[in-house]
Chain A
Amino acid sequence: MMDLKVLPLDIGDTGTQRCRLGPGLMTSLGLRIGSPVHITISGGECLCTAWPRSDLADGFLQFDRKCTTKDLKAVTFSDLSVCPKQIKAICSQKLKGVRVNVVVQSIDVKKHASASFIHDLVKEMLRGMCVAGQYIVDVTHLKTQVQLILIEHLDPCNADTGFITAKTSVSIGAIQTLNSYKCQLQKPPGVLLGGMEDVCASLKEIVHLPLRYPRTLQKLGVSCPRGVLLVGPPGVGKTMLVRNVVMEVGAALVTVNGPVVLGSRPGESEENLRRKFRRASEAAQEGPCVLFIDEIDSLCPRRASSTSAPQNRVVAQLLTLMDGIGSDESFVIIGATNQPDTLDPALRRPGRFDREVIIGVPTLRQRKSILDVLGSQMPLSDDVDFVSLAEMTTGCVGADLSALCREAALQAILHSPQGFPRHAVDMKHFLEALKKIQPSCLRSSIGLTDFKPLSWDQIGGLEDVKLKLKQSIEWPMKFPEAFVRLGLSRPRGVLLYGPPGCAKTTLVKAAASSSHCAFLSVSGADLFSPFVGDSEKALAQLFRQARACAPSILFLDEIDILGSRGDSSAPHSVQARLLSVLLNELDGVGLKTQERRGTRRERCPPEGSPPEGSAEFQQELQMSYQEVCNKDVMIVAATNRPEALDSALLRPGRLDKIICVPPPDMEARLAILEICTRRMPLESDVCLKELAQKTHLFSGADLENLCKEAALLILQEEGMDASSIKHRYFIKSLQSMTPSLKDQQIQRYQNLFTS
């Protein structure tokens, strides 16, 4: 039999529970006029009574959705066709009784309408209808106080469906309002949150508290906390956290968006605010309710700094509304912002926002759990290692990580071989995606640099300097458990000093590329600005950003400009102020509370953790060591004028590891020459050893220059066709060069910190 085309219902049939079928179909299904049918359509089910179409045409179906299951409600029926198999005749008896829940229009009706009135209304509405258990009867078309009737239970129990007659007894269970019913219908959160268990729990507690223990709080004579301010950088998931908590608790959510509330007419914004609060308090009479003010900084800026009167009025209105919530109205206000400093201070006091929850940039462990949550939906191949990914994504917030996963999935789709629609995401896709993702807490940072990765082998000689650098930078990251075992902490800062051209900067580059951590580099000149106070602010911000994405390396090149010993002639110069900022940032009293990240964890493993000895336990342990050991910023400074530095900078606790980068000795020079000539075609008579012997007092940069000069010389003398460099050209160019270092200078460097 051919499919039936679904047409919209005739207006006259609205609310009649009829479905219009062709007479042919009715006969084949054995239907009489008015006999009940059960229609299964697009995921839902519907109960109707069969009526012939007035034009007696077959092949069409019109049906009234008065009595349906829950899942049918939101479906539209354009271009839908139905197989006749989806329509079934059912036989139903007259019901003795029925128990229903009622959804009414507003809280006003729920409070004031008498039970007998509602009962009469509902009974009258249901009369003559064919119903089944767990179906919903929609009576909105009648425009009375009752909106929906939820059929709970039929009597006799064995009846699946039945007709309600005048003799059927109707008993009413719960009465709820339409808003709370809609809240209930919302699906549980599809997106879970990773690494926010503690914040989530504390939020849930606040929402639950007034509901669970209203008497206890009354007895204690205290009012419940009502306001929570969520503070955190953009992208850490503040809004998502609130939505998740609200859904989990099953609370009603009223959202206030700053820009939406603000209106153009005078007084409009205040009115909108008041309306939102009224809505929240109405919803709160039925169950938990959360009023969520996103981007509260736009709604409630500091009053002193703004000159516009309307803005100030809005702030004042918000404050009075927050004060005006009675203790009987139990709704919780949650505000979210990423600039808590711009909020009006009057807002941040107990009674308004009682608690401030700071969500920092996720730590290693939190990143791991975020990645776990994000990856749980993706088809991953076995080589994906989220622990190492979490280690690589320092400074990334939740939004960055989800962007990373999306990018990786895109890579997988783009690079999957044709004809293999497998789409498993491999580790290489993640690594490819990682190149495109920039941690959002480093955006627009002055210290962000892009450099070519460099390995330790590309630096000749200086073996002991390399070792010291590895000790202080690489080891704490690679072997954290050894550091923890021995109670070692990594040095706060490293100072590299030595004559110019001896690869100080290159060494730092190599250190940065060998350890997977964020690398910020700034030279003194970047910081200076013509505006008073600007330089200090920039330096402080640099440190803040570096801390946000710890473990990180902050490289201060030419630190002598920043940290030179204060001249007595200019005690208030920019240098002096910068130095004081630097000293404070290096070893200050503490951090600002806003920069808090994660929570202090107990060292003992939490309950439910994997058993000792297993691979997972080892991984967990490794991660916890990593966190303990590498929560700070490593500061690396370089200078060639160490004598000019302020002594306060050099004390242990600030730049406590002082490494001298000496000019290359004989072997080092040989190594440097080998590296420099690696790509040059050399004649067999070239003796690098001899060159190394002859280049006493040459720095690394000088040696590189020497090689370049020799190559240029041969091009000059033998024409452009020259194929290899002969030894005499090295000697010739050596004769024209003088070493940039002097014996006396080296002596001075060496005696500086030893005497």
Chain B
Amino acid sequence: MSKPALLSLHQALKRSFHSLEQNQEVWNSVLEECRPLMGSLCNLAEQLLALNNVQISSTPLARFPNLQDRLRFKLLVAVDTVLEKMAEKMCSLQMVRDAVGNKVTAAFQVYEQHADTLDLSACLQRSAAAPSVADMLEWLQDADRYYRQQYLKRKALLQALKSNDHSDLQSAPKRWEALAMPEEEDRVSDALASVSFFMDSP
């Protein structure tokens, strides 16, 4: 059994979990900020639908020339603005994903480096204060995959949006919400809770 190898691996794991803890907060706050944006997207889609259904010429507004087209243009510009903002949010989500990814990869690299000296049974040893190395690596990988999948799905949804398909736009917020996987999110939180003693230990 090589104590120094295990120690350095533990250090790497600690760093990864610290980073994960911070990034989880960032991720959740960014997602919170996305919600009103998606709501306004839905609102705009509804307005576009309503505009399509109304006959401007039969309303008192008929005196304004080209009103329908102008309104549509305005709404579409607004949609674009919202989507731009969403893209910014996606950027910050991507940053979270990459940060977590890098830390997890780093932890795995440390493990790979010391794998020859580390016994498998040492990696499987659990104690009251610290979970086993295998469990922690697994949790890290799970968390990494969770963020990557979430980012992928959300990005795919935004990519697939077509501004000329209003009903598609209208249902987007619902689908956006449906993408959230609370049980996966809970697993990340659970993992963080399990390693809290380990993280606090020197």
Contacts from A to B (Cβ < 8 Å): 12, 16, 23, 26-27, 31-34, 51-52, 54, 56, 113, 117, 120-121, 124-125, 127-128, 142-145
Contact = CB atoms under 8 A, between A and B. Distances in A.
Contact of A121 (B123, B133, B138, B156): B156
Contacts of B153: 142-144
B137 interface: yes
Interface in B115-153: 115, 120-121, 123-124, 133-135, 137-138, 141-142, 145, 148-149, 151-153
B124 A56 contact: yes
B135 A54 contact: yes
B59 interface: no
A127 B156 CA distance: 16
Contacts of A120: 155
Contact of B120 (A16, A27, A124, A145): A27
Contacts of B124: 23, 52, 56
B137 A117 contact: no
Interface string B155-174: 11001100000000000000
B187 A12 contact: yes
B17 interface: no
Given A23-B120, A26-B120, A117-B159, A51 B138 contact: yes
Given A51-B134, A113-B159, A144-B156, 10 more contacts: A16-B141, A27-B120, A32-B112, A33-B134, A34-B137, A51-B138, A54-B135, A121-B156, A142-B149, A144-B152
12 contacts: A16-B142, A23-B124, A26-B120, A32-B112, A32-B115, A33-B123, A33-B134, A34-B111, A56-B124, A121-B156, A142-B153, A144-B152
B198 interface: no
A142 B152 contact: yes
B101 to A, nearest CB: 8
Residue of B120, B137, B148 most packed against chain A (CB within 10 A):
B120
B98 to A, nearest CB: 9
B135 A33 contact: no
A121 B152 contact: yes
B120 A32 contact: yes
A23 B156 CA distance: 39
A56 to B, nearest CB: 6
Interface in B74-107: none
Contact of A33 (B111, B145, B152, B159): B111
B180 to A, nearest CB: 13
Contact of B134 (A52, A117, A127, A144): A52
Nearest to A117: B159
Contact of B152 (A26, A124, A128): A124
B108 interface: yes
A52 B187 CA distance: 19
Residue of A12, A23, A31, A33 most packed against chain B (CB within 10 A):
A33
Contacts of A32: 111-112, 115, 120
Interface residues of B, number: 26
Contacts of A142: 149, 152-153
A142 B145 CA distance: 11
Given A27-B120, A33-B134, A145-B160, A124 B108 contact: no
Residue of B108, B134, B142 most packed against chain A (CB within 10 A):
B134
A125 B123 CA distance: 29
A34 B108 contact: yes
Contacts of A145: 156, 160
Interface string B179-198: 00000000100000000000
Nearest to B108: A34
Nearest to B138: A51
Contacts of A52: 120, 124, 134
A143 B157 CA distance: 11
Contacts of B159: 113, 117
Contacts of A33: 111, 120, 123, 133-134, 137
Given A27-B120, A144-B156, A124 B148 contact: yes
A125 B152 CA distance: 8
A145 B161 CA distance: 13
State the 10 A-B residue pairs at the shortest beta-carbon distance, nearest first: A144-B156, A32-B115, A117-B159, A124-B152, A27-B120, A52-B134, A33-B134, A23-B124, A33-B137, A52-B124
A12 B152 contact: no
B121 to A, nearest CB: 7
B82 to A, nearest CB: 20
A683 to B, nearest CB: 107
A16 B149 CA distance: 11
A30 to B, nearest CB: 9
Contacts of A113: 159-160
Contacts of B111: 32-34
Given A32-B115, A142-B153, A145-B156, A127 B148 contact: yes
A31 B112 CA distance: 12
A627 B69 CA distance: 78
Contacts of A23: 120-121, 124
Contacts of B141: 16, 34
A16 B145 contact: yes
A267 to B, nearest CB: 24
A12 B188 CA distance: 12
Contacts of B187: 12
A144 B124 CA distance: 36
A12 B120 contact: no
A211 B112 CA distance: 55
Contacts of B138: 51
B149 to A, nearest CB: 6
A117 B161 CA distance: 12
A360 B121 CA distance: 75
A142 B157 CA distance: 12
Nearest to A17: B145
Contacts of B149: 142
A144 B115 CA distance: 36
Residue of A26, A113, A128, A145 most packed against chain B (CB within 10 A):
A128
Nearest to B145: A16
A13 to B, nearest CB: 9
